[in-house]
Amino acid sequence: MKKLQAIRGMNDLLPSDSPVWQYLESTVADVLQRYGYSEIRFPILEATELFKRSIGEVTDIVEKEMYTFDDRNGDSVTMRPEGTASCVRACEQHGLLYNQTQRLWYTGPMFRYERPQKGRLRQFHQIGVETFGMAGPDIDAEMLLITARLWRELGIADAVTLQLNTLGSNEERARYRDALVAYLSERKDQLDEDSQRRLDSNPLRILDSKDANTQALLDGAPTLQDYLGEESNAHFDGLKAILDAAGIAYEVNPRLVRGLDYYCNTVFEWVTDKLGAQGTVCAGGRYDGLVGQLGGKPTPAVGFAMGIERLVLMLQELQVVPEALGQNVDAYLVSVGDVKAAAFKLAETVRNELPYLRVQSHCGGGNFKKQMKKANDSGADIALIVGEDEAKNGQVTLKFLREDKPQQTLTIEQALIALQD
Ligand code: ATP
Ligand code: MG
């Protein structure tokens, strides 16, 4: 029979790697809590319409990356390729945007049919943050203060840089779009193939084309900055002033446009040169038009998402994963003879009285020597040994596995005291 395998681009998270993930996730959750953010969870499967209407029909995601199928009822459903659309849908559905502000975060798997490679998967994981009801550059700045703090706490601040841009309002962008299309249409034959196609569908994306000829051609093109009005400029200046005062370095990149349709004004990416081609670890921006576009009352919004796999790769690459993470037990219960009941009772007592201690019980039989080897391999500092004598006398023997110290046979009460330090 053919061996069953996971689907290409969809990874298992093995026990050896899960401590790093937990460390990353709990660090992020902690930082977000300190800024007053609340967690929201929404389904993995949504109506396909939601993503088409929010992300945009002519984006990479909707054109070629979505896992879309008909369910048994014949309704078209899609496994979420990102979280923003679902978050807006959930907030609208439950009235969370009515006359109030929201600061939310979520985490979980996202699905995109892409070519799997380092830092690029078909099932990948994001931690996302979305805020609603705040129009000023202050909340944009908060997004960047949060992420900058996170990089500091994770020890990767020196390896990431912030790229920043403003896309202006929808009207400003539309006028710029016309000017760009006019300029590039006259030079269409000099554009790379993708960019030629985008000229009709999504011309702003041409700005972040990787093609050198196209980039050279763009040097002479009109720039979005020339089309920005007073309000957009003031917003961007307000953001930069907060970042400057907070000592957060950034590089304004006028060609940063982001792939999705719904962004306006502020867009940003945190990038690294440690991961090869997949260098963006966190990306986001303002999307004031999206809530209205999905049928809600127009609501200013800004958010970002970071890729967990890429951040984990970075933590490993930079060797900033705390050392103690992998170890998972402190004490290992060894029981020899017909003493299982007494031994398990002891282990439960230890867990009741010393809840911070991680106690693993040996299960499945084996002689003393074999069990002691297991105790050693478990990483525990202490073996709790219960034999016939200990069981009969209400005692336990403590054997120290990492220290040169004689073993002690103690009453349960004495053992609890000894295990405290
Ligand atoms: P890229 O340009 O690398 O394709 P993107 O612009 O499509 O990224 P976003 O939709 O902005 O990515 O998602 C935010 C973050 O999620 C990215 O910066 C990245 O860290 C992560 N991410 C996106 N797609 C993948 C993927 N296929 N595999 C792993 N991580 C991903
Ligand atoms: Mg992508």
Any atom of ligand 1 within 6 Å of the Cβ of 281: yes
What is the average per-residue pLDDT within 40-68?
93
The number of the ligand nearest the C-alpha atom of 9 reads 1
Residue 345's nearest CA partner among 357, 333, 336, 356 is: 333
The residues, any chain, with a CB within 8 Å of residue 402's CB and separated by 6 or more, are 381
Place of tokens 């202490």: 382
Express each pLDDT in 361-400 by its tens digit: 999 989 999 999 999 999 999 999 999 999 999 999 999 9
Binning pLDDT at 50, 70 and 90, where does residue 157 land? very high
pLDDT of 223 reads: 92
What CATH number has the domain bearing residue 374?
3.40.50.800
pLDDT at 421 over 90: no
255, 282, 317 - which closes a domain: 317
Q: Give percent above pLDDT 70 in the chain.
A: 100
Give 335's strand partners.
Answer: 386
Q: Same domain, yes or no, for 143 and 269?
A: yes
CA 309 to CA 19: how far, in whole Å? 13
- Decide if 129 contacts 143 (C-beta within 8 A): yes
Q: Whose CA is nearest to atom 9 of ligand 1?
A: 283
Q: pLDDT at position 53, please?
A: 93
Is the pLDDT confidence value at 320 over 80? yes
Centre of ligand 1 to C-alpha 156, Å, is 19
User: Is residue 306 in a domain?
Assistant: yes
> Which residue, judged by its Cα, is nearest atom 24 of ligand 1?
120
Q: Assess if residue 44 is contained within a domain.
A: yes
Query: Does residue 278 share a domain with residue 160?
Result: yes
Confidence of residue 153 (pLDDT cuts 50, 70, 90): very high
CB 203 within 8 A of CB 177: yes
Region 140-165 average pLDDT: 98
Report d(CA 365, CA 337) in Å as an integer: 10
Kindly give the distance from the C-alpha atom of residue 406 to the centroid of ligand 2, in angstroms, as a whole number. Answer: 59
Q: Helix, strand, coil % (nearest 5) of the chain?
A: 45, 20, 35
Interval 17-33 mean pLDDT: 96
Q: Per-residue pLDDT for 416 more than 90?
A: yes
DSSP state of 127: E
**For residues 51-73, average pLDDT:** 92
Range of the domain at 334: 329-419
Total structural domains in the chain?
2
What are residue 275's DSSP bridge partners? none
Question: In whole angstroms, how far apart are CA 26 and each of 154, 157, 179, 316?
Answer: 11, 18, 47, 17
Q: Are residues 56 and 33 in the same domain?
A: yes
Residues 157 and 301 both lie in one domain? yes
Q: Give domain status of residue 207, yes or no.
A: no
**Confidence category of residue 325, pLDDT binned at 50, 70, 90:** confident
The sheet carrying 408-411 orders its strands as 359-361, 331-335, 382-386, 395-400, 408-411
- Can you tell me which atom of ligand 1 is nearest the CA of 119? 29
Taking the C-alpha atoms of residue 418 and residue 421, their distance in angstroms, rounded to an integer, is: 6
Compute the distance between CA of residue 9 and CA of residue 122 in angstroms, rounded to an integer.
5
Residue nearest to atom 10 of ligand 1 (CA): 82
End-to-end CA distance of the chain: 54
Q: Note whether 56 and 128 are same-domain residues.
A: yes
Residues 241 and 153 in one domain: yes
Assess if residue 267 is contained within a domain.
yes
Q: Which residue from 310, 312, 314, 315 has its CB within 8 A of the most atoms of ligand 1, so it is best to mutate?
A: 310
Instruction: Tell me the C-alpha distance between 109 and 308, whole Å.
Output: 10
Would you say residue 144 lies in a domain?
yes
What is the mean pLDDT of the segment spanning 97-109? 97
**What is the CA(340)–ligand 1 centre distance, in A?**
51
Supply the DSSP symbol for 188: G
Same domain for 281 and 362 = no
Closest approach atom of ligand 1 to CA 310: 20
The predicted model gives 8-31 an average pLDDT of: 96
The mean pLDDT value for 170-177 works out to 92
In a domain, 154, yes or no: yes
- 145 and 248 within one domain: yes
Q: Is 140 in the pocket of ligand 1 (CB under 6 A)?
A: no
Among 252, 285, 317, the domain-final residue is 317
Give the mean pLDDT of 94-104.
Answer: 96
| Residue 409: predicted pLDDT | 98
Among protein residues, the one whose CA lies closest to atom 3 of ligand 1: 278
User: Are residues 411 and 263 both part of a single domain?
Assistant: no
| Residues 381, 267 share a domain | no
Where a domain ends, among 258, 283, 317? Answer: 317
What pLDDT, on the 0 to 100 scale, is given for residue 261? 73
Q: Is 375 contained in some domain?
A: yes
Mean pLDDT, the chain, integer: 95
Question: Do 47 and 98 fall within a single domain?
Answer: yes
Do 335 and 309 lie in one domain? The reply is no
213 falls within a domain: no
DSSP string for 217-252: HHTTS--GGGG--HHHHHHHHHHHHHHHHHT---EE
**Average pLDDT value for residue range 71-82:** 98
Closest CA to 402 of 351, 330, 335: 330
Under 8 Å between Cβ of 235 and 266: yes
CATH number of the domain at 68, please: 3.30.930.10
